[in-house]
Chain A
Amino acid sequence: MALADYKYKDVIHRCFRCGYCKFPSNWMEVNNCPAYARFRLESYSTGGRLWLIRAWLNDEIEWTDHLAQIVYSCAACKNCVEQCPYRFHDDIVDMIIAARSEMVERGSIPSVVKEFLENIQRQGNPYGNARSKRGEWVEGMGIKQYEGQEYLYYVGCVGSYDTRAKETARTLGEVLLKAGVSFGVMGNDENCDGNEVSKLGEESLFQSLAEDNIQQFKDLGVEKIVALSPHSYNAIKNDYPMFNGSFEVFHYTQLLRDLIKGGRLDISSGFDARVTYHDPCFLGRWNKEYEAPRQVLNAIPGVELVEMERSREGALCCGGGGGNFYTDFLGGSEDSPARIRIREACATGASIVATACPNCMTMLEDAVKAEGLEESIKVKDISEIVAEACLAKRAD
């Protein structure tokens, strides 16, 4: 594709390289772009990436592995969208995804991205684990297959297969059972929601996944979906309607907030800790949901909620989006965004950093280990904090 065929050809040259895309809303650091944080080279900032994409499409530079890595190192966190002062700021991440689509069509993508996509094509998850194991997390819990209950509890790939994230999936299941919510799961029939596939530029695969999922949901009579992962939440809520799949989608923190408000969850046992909350990008900046998770935490007796200096629309991404929880372009350094984020969490004096996303959970857990801060801070999913607040007995 020459520049002339690129969807954003009239806009991509207008990036002034002012650099606001690197900052959070309060300007406190210059490393709020996860890829720029990791490498601190201009080519990895959004502005640099856009200039390189234009240069490549305009035949000024050739495709190289390094270019592909730069283009794929973007975690799609939308900090740049939030901070760019231009009218086309909403399109910035889409410009990068469009460049990825071009690389996908040419077949020239990094090997790990190829693996990611092929694993999904074959086994319905990026890890390439057997489909027949997707529903294993449910073992021994008394959670039923979806057959017309009020909610479909949609878990997603990370929650179904990642060891740590599976615990989150189970705990949320426990909490929903405890609250008497009518729900079912799809078990081995669940397939990848495709959110990361879309961000990686494989549009046709995403469409195929979306259409298959939509058909499956419709055949089962699904109307309401509660998602464990903000990534699933984002895809099903915002992208599936484009393929005639309209469902009422909730992120689980929104449901928990309503259950607590409605008195259907007894959290009186409380949870005594100073907690800081890490905004997941696909719940926060992508979907503007900053309050529901905080409302849940604030409702729990004993929780002292403190904010990191960069929070809400200024939050630092854990670096796990855009497939990076698997492709790992941003790992391997103390400048990895997840490690920076954990250090920030510790600086609040909190003993717990609360997450609402299985990708964030895995990235931050690994970061705690890499930083050697296991004694100082623990990563807990909001569902796990809620579970302790309603299942544990207070010692009197």
Chain B
Amino acid sequence: MDIVVAIKQVPDTSEAVDVVEIDASGRDINKEALVSKINDWDEYALEEAVQLKQKLGGTVTAVTVGASEWDDILRRALAMGADRAIRIDEDAASMDSNTVAKILTAVIIHLPYDLVIFGAQSEDFGSGQLGCMVAEMLDIPHATLVVSLQMDEGEVRVSRELEGGALELYTLKLPALLTIQTGINRPRYVSFASIKKAREKELKVISLNELGLSRDALTPLVILEKLELTPTGKKAELISGSAEETAGKLAMILNDSGVI
């Protein structure tokens, strides 16, 4: 059972909300004061992959597109139980999902895989698109927001999380791509010692050129114009009445404030 897991590194903003500031470019946050970590969803994805490998045998390959600091999350992936890791050496910060998807596809297409696993979304930009795009580019079936999965002969059965606790059940033929929702498992703790030990495993760094791609040729389809902090609210208004009345009142408020 060969599994490829795509992961990314994000800044840790969990307890440090008021340390978040927009940087000079106006299109990113100031990351100097922030520590980096593996994207939460990707940790669950990795754990799921490693558990599958431990049960069914096979390999797990962790892949990322990022600068050299992102080796940290690959070491963590190796420490968790991935067999090898690949980093495409490009600063993904300014790329749109489509670009990253193209790069990842160019790598994955040469790897043996029964399953390709992504986290459902990222903690920073939260687009939730990457997995779907790569699935389309690889021309394989996919399911998103997976909260449980079970392997069978040549196929995988998944539950997708909908609203209000409802679940959808699907069967996909392998090879398939899944994006993983948090809570699907309990990611194991990675000790300091095991991260050090993971240095014995293979971490390959490749350039875009080696993939036959060039930065210039990868034109983004979506361009981020501006990043703003939400204005801290000073007023909270409770709108009362029937559903129709409150909807009407709300529409008026939104219209008057210029939002719609």
CB within 8 Å for A205 and B191 given contacts A107-B80, A111-B186, A130-B19 = yes
B35 and A204 form a contact (CB under 8 A): no
Give the total of A residues in contact with B, Cβ under 8 Å: 27
Cβ of A127 under 8 Å from chain B: yes
A107-B188, A202-B192, A204-B193 given. 17 additional CB < 8 A pairs?
Answer: A104-B191, A105-B191, A105-B194, A107-B80, A108-B188, A113-B189, A114-B187, A121-B192, A130-B15, A130-B19, A131-B35, A132-B16, A132-B19, A132-B33, A204-B192, A205-B192, A207-B192
Return chain A residues, CB-CB under 8 Å to B190. 107
Return chain B residues, CB-CB under 8 Å to A64. none
CB within 8 Å for A204 and B15 given contacts A107-B190, A130-B33 = no
Q: Closest CB-CB distance, B16 to chain A, in whole Å?
A: 4
Bound form: Cα–Cα A111–B187 in Å: 9
Return chain B residues, CB-CB under 8 Å to A118. 189
Cβ of B215 under 8 Å from chain A: no
Mark B177-195 against chain A: 1 for CB-CB distance below 8 A, else 0.
0000000001111111110
Q: Closest CB-CB distance, B190 to chain A, in whole Å?
A: 7
Cβ of B12 under 8 Å from chain A: yes
Mark B157-197 against chain A: 1 for CB-CB distance below 8 A, else 0.
00000000000000000000000000000111111111010
CB nearest neighbor in B for A129: B15
Cβ of B257 under 8 Å from chain A: no
Mark B100-118 against chain A: 1 for CB-CB distance below 8 A, else 0.
0000000000000000000
Bound form: Cα–Cα A104–B79 in Å: 13
Please pick, from B12, B186, B196, the residue contacting A123 in the complex, using a CB distance under 8 A.
B12
A130 and B189 form a contact (CB under 8 A): no
B191 and A204 form a contact (CB under 8 A): yes
Cβ of A203 under 8 Å from chain B: yes
- 21 A-B residue pairs with Cβ-Cβ distance under 8 Å, sorted by A, are A105-B194, A107-B80, A107-B188, A107-B190, A107-B191, A108-B189, A111-B186, A114-B189, A118-B189, A122-B37, A130-B19, A131-B35, A132-B16, A132-B19, A132-B33, A202-B191, A204-B192, A204-B196, A205-B192, A207-B192, A208-B192
> Which A residues, 94 to 133, have Cβ-Cβ distances below 8 Å to chain B?
104-109, 111, 113-114, 117-118, 121-123, 127-133
Return chain B residues, CB-CB under 8 Å to A104. 189, 191
Return chain A residues, CB-CB under 8 Å to B196. 204
CB within 8 Å for A117 and B189 given contacts A123-B35, A130-B33, A132-B33 = yes
For this complex, into which size category does the number of interface residues on chain B fall?
Answer: 10 to 19
Cβ of B14 under 8 Å from chain A: yes
Bound form: Cα–Cα A308–B81 in Å: 52
Return chain A residues, CB-CB under 8 Å to B187. 114
Bound form: Cα–Cα A114–B189 in Å: 6
Bound form: Cα–Cα A165–B16 in Å: 20
A129 and B16 form a contact (CB under 8 A): yes
Q: Classify the secondary structure of B's interface with A.
A: loop
A128 and B191 form a contact (CB under 8 A): no
Q: Closest CB-CB distance, B60 to chain A, in whole Å?
A: 15
B33 and A127 form a contact (CB under 8 A): no
Return chain A residues, CB-CB under 8 Å to B12. 122-123, 128
Return chain A residues, CB-CB under 8 Å to B193. 105, 203-204
Q: Which 3 A-B pairs have the closest CB atoms?
A: A107-B188, A204-B193, A204-B192
Return chain A residues, CB-CB under 8 Å to B14. 128
Bound form: Cα–Cα A113–B189 in Å: 9
CB nearest neighbor in A for B186: A111
B19 and A109 form a contact (CB under 8 A): no
Bound form: Cα–Cα A195–B137 in Å: 50
Return chain B residues, CB-CB under 8 Å to A108. 188-189
CB nearest neighbor in A for B32: A132
B189 and A109 form a contact (CB under 8 A): yes
Return chain B residues, CB-CB under 8 Å to A127. 15
Mark A131-161 against chain B: 1 for CB-CB distance below 8 A, else 0.
1110000000000000000000000000000
Please pick, from A107, A122, A203, the residue contacting B35 in the complex, using a CB distance under 8 A.
A122
CB nearest neighbor in B for A105: B191
CB nearest neighbor in A for B34: A130
Q: Closest CB-CB distance, A118 to chain B, in whole Å?
A: 8
Return chain B residues, CB-CB under 8 Å to A113. 189
Q: Closest CB-CB distance, A173 to chain B, in whole Å?
A: 24
> Which A residues, 37 to 82, have Cβ-Cβ distances below 8 Å to chain B?
none
Bound form: Cα–Cα A395–B5 in Å: 72
Return chain A residues, CB-CB under 8 Å to B15. 123, 127-130
Q: Closest CB-CB distance, A31 to chain B, in whole Å?
A: 31
> Which B residues, 208 to 259, have Cβ-Cβ distances below 8 Å to chain A?
none
Bound form: Cα–Cα A348–B36 in Å: 51
Return chain B residues, CB-CB under 8 Å to A117. 189
CB nearest neighbor in B for A132: B33
> Which A residues, 188 to 222, have Cβ-Cβ distances below 8 Å to chain B?
202-205, 207-208
Q: Closest CB-CB distance, B75 to chain A, in whole Å?
A: 13
